[in-house]
Structure 1
Amino acid sequence: MNRGKAVKPLKELNLTNRFLFDEVMEDAETHRTVLSIIFGRDIPPLIHNETEKESRISPTVRSIRMDVFSMDENEVVYNTEMQTKKKMDLAKRSRYYQALVDTSLLEPGIPDYRELKDSYIIMIMTFDFFGWGKYQYTFTPDCREVSGCSLEDGATRIFLNTEGQNPEEVSDELVAFLKYIKESTDDVALASDSKKVQQIHRRVCKVRASEEVGVRYMQAWEEKYFDRQEGREEGVMETKQKVIQRMLQEGFSEDVIMRITEITKEELERICSFGDK
């Protein structure tokens, strides 16, 4: 079967890739380090940190899948998203994300809305959505009629732009981080004086070198390919076989393959024999 464009090796991915971004940010300390760069201050330890979190308030309401959802020990909530495609609905998408996050934070029966936790929706973009050349755009609800009067409802939306042109208005560390997002290499990491950027790079290198992450990456790519090409249940089964055959060709051990793909020894032997025909 002609697969068109070949899959890019895991070791060559940048943090703009959603798979690598989620794998790296799955580590709570790494996500905390990223947040500390964005906010320019220490962030309390994260007591909850989850990637690929699905949020749905009702079967009839559109769900969302958050890249990284976390809460610190002060119960401040952060939703960090990677955006590489410039879609014109991004502003309203962030509004919808904010609404679903808020809905999930207030338990039924609580009468006081002051119990609603402070929350931040953070969009890391590889383009300048607003066109003002800023590395960072921060939105909080302010009063048009009274200067300095803010609603102070605890909701903040932050849009980060890797293509910013105003380094004098933000920290050197934020600029270095946004450059590293686009080009997650040894050279870019070492060119920065930021220990936090270098800490993030060490996590990236660890993820890239992980055999199990490599298996998940290949599996995710194959499933996405067959979902797109086939869209049928038999395509999913063929995906699994193709993934396992590719893993065998790449030298992954049988124990790792069986653990990650959740197949038995007999199923693996059957797939191996099928591949030899």
Structure 2
Amino acid sequence: MSHEAKYVPLKKYPFTEDKIFGWVMENQEFCLYLLQIILPDLNIKKIIEFHKQDAIGNDDREAKDIRLDIKVVDDRGRIFDIEMQTTASAYLGRRVRYYQSIIDGDGILKVGKDYSQLPDTYIIFLCSEDPSDAFSKKDDRAVHFFKTVDTKDSDLKLNDGATKVIINSKGDFASESAELKELANLMNDKEVSLNEQFIWAQNRIDELNKDRRSDIVSYEAKLMDRELYGRQEGIKKGREEGLEEGRNEARCEGLNNLIIGFSESGLSDELIFTQAQKRYGKYFTDKQIKQFMNEAKGRPLQEA
């Protein structure tokens, strides 16, 4: 009896997929549109600098490496960082803080300039999963704006020019604009049809799933390889540390037994120290050896 192969439709990569997000957002008209609907009060008119980060990262750096998804500067010098976050994390706030430090440390305040010329920054996280684990309490609202405020008077704000925006696509959009509701639909991989901007984005996503699929698969394979390598290195390091810890325990036991054995044989402290130093001096300092001797003999450390 023959069995026909069951057709399995190709996985559709949504707007939230890393590569898809970058390719859609590199359309500066659409990027500007999203900024305008997220931050309508800023009256953003024009993007004059656009940076899209495709690189996976540099593993040789000692500091934690990050790549800002989309970084743009408008005609008033304000900096906007737009990130896609696809996993829930209790440490999202600390991640935002780190991104802020990267932006501020990116040479934006040149030598000779004063702090009044430090530009306003807006870090925007588009979260496809509920981010409220990162908050001090559960909150179902869809859009959150965070600024530096006084803990005793929330109306008293520190004018540091830094704003963090977190959008929860699974949140309550009842009081939000139609445009933000449609952005949530796009993030949740639902059909969108509000206006030509969102229709274009939907069509672009469909095109990329056809034309750039191999690039997406290759990129995700690299990410998986990198993650697997990191896990393997972590396991290897753990084993090595465990092995070395076992060796240290064995050396401690050996030194202790040597001291006790020589003590029971009636050798002087000077001879015991000399023998211990000869056999274990490469692993322990003189002070540590004397500490072992005192502990083995039950004497206070100051007698060493």
TM-score by length of 2: 0.63
Q: Which residue of 2 aligns with 1:204?
A: 205
Q: Look up the equivalent residue of 2:150 and give its one-letter code.
A: C
Matches within 5 A, 1:225-240: 225-227=224-226
CA distance in 1, matches of 2:68, 2:90: 19
Q: Which residue of 2 aligns with 1:180?
A: 186
**Aligned-pair Cα RMSD in Å:** 2.8
Please give the per-residue CA displacement for 1:87-127, whole angstroms capped at 9, x wherever unaligned.
Answer: 21111110010111111153441340111111111111122
Paired residues of 1:69 and 1:77 also in contact (CA < 8 A): yes
Matching residue within 45, 66, 75 for 2:68: 66
CA distance in 2, matches of 1:223, 1:38: 32
- SS of corresponding position for 1:82: strand
Q: 1:121 to 1:147 in 2, by over 3 A?
A: closer
Q: 1:128 to 1:73 in 2, by over 3 A?
A: same
Larger Rg: 2
TM-score by length of 1: 0.68
Q: Which residue of 2 aligns with 1:121?
A: 123
Q: Which residue of 2 aligns with 1:110?
A: 112
CA distance in 2, matches of 1:173, 1:60: 42
Greater shift in the superposed pair: 96-105 or 217-226: 217-226
- SS of corresponding position for 1:88: coil
Paired residues of 1:76 and 1:117 also in contact (CA < 8 A): yes
CA distance in 1, matches of 2:179, 2:105: 34
CA distance in 1, matches of 2:10, 2:51: 25
Point out where structure 2 has 5 or more consecutive residues left out of the alignment: 1-7, 133-137, 231-304
- SS of corresponding position for 1:127: coil
Matching residue within 188, 192, 202 for 1:189: 192
Q: 1:180 to 1:112 in 2, by over 3 A?
A: same
Matching residue within 133, 136, 143 for 1:136: 143
Q: Which residue of 2 aligns with 1:35?
A: 35
Question: Deviation of residue 166 (structure 1)?
Answer: 4.2
CA distance in 1, matches of 2:161, 2:45: 17
Point out where structure 1 has 5 or more consecutive residues left out of the alignment: 1-6, 232-277
Q: Look up the equivalent residue of 2:101 and give its one-letter code.
A: A
CA distance in 2, matches of 1:226, 1:217: 14
CA distance in 2, matches of 1:112, 1:104: 16
CA distance in 1, matches of 2:173, 2:188: 17
Q: 1:163 to 1:222 in 2, by over 3 A?
A: closer
Please give the per-residue CA displacement for 1:181-234, whole angstroms capped at 9, x wherever unaligned.
Answer: 1115xxx212xx344322332433443343xx3342232134334445678xxx
CA distance in 2, matches of 1:221, 1:127: 20
Q: Which residue of 1 aligns with 2:284?
A: none
Please give the per-residue CA displacement for 1:29-86, whole angstroms capped at 9, x wherever unaligned.
Answer: 2211111121136522212222226799x95432211111111121111111111111
Paired residues of 2:173 and 2:181 also in contact (CA < 8 A): no
CA distance in 1, matches of 2:19, 2:54: 14
Q: Look up the equivalent residue of 2:184 and give its one-letter code.
A: L
- SS of corresponding position for 2:68: strand
Paired residues of 2:109 and 2:118 also in contact (CA < 8 A): no
CA distance in 1, matches of 2:218, 2:121: 34
- SS of corresponding position for 2:37: helix
Q: Which residue of 2 aligns with 1:50?
A: 51
Q: Which residue of 2 aligns with 1:251?
A: none
Q: Which residue of 2 aligns with 1:264?
A: none
Q: 1:146 to 1:88 in 2, by over 3 A?
A: closer
Q: Which residue of 2 aligns with 1:79?
A: 81
Point out the structure with the larger strand share: 1
Report how many residues are paired.
Answer: 215
Q: Which residue of 2 aligns with 1:149?
A: 156
CA distance in 2, matches of 1:148, 1:18: 37
Q: Which residue of 1 aligns with 2:216?
A: 217
Please give the per-residue CA displacement for 1:224-245, whole angstroms capped at 9, x wherever unaligned.
Answer: 34445678xxxxxxxxxxxxxx
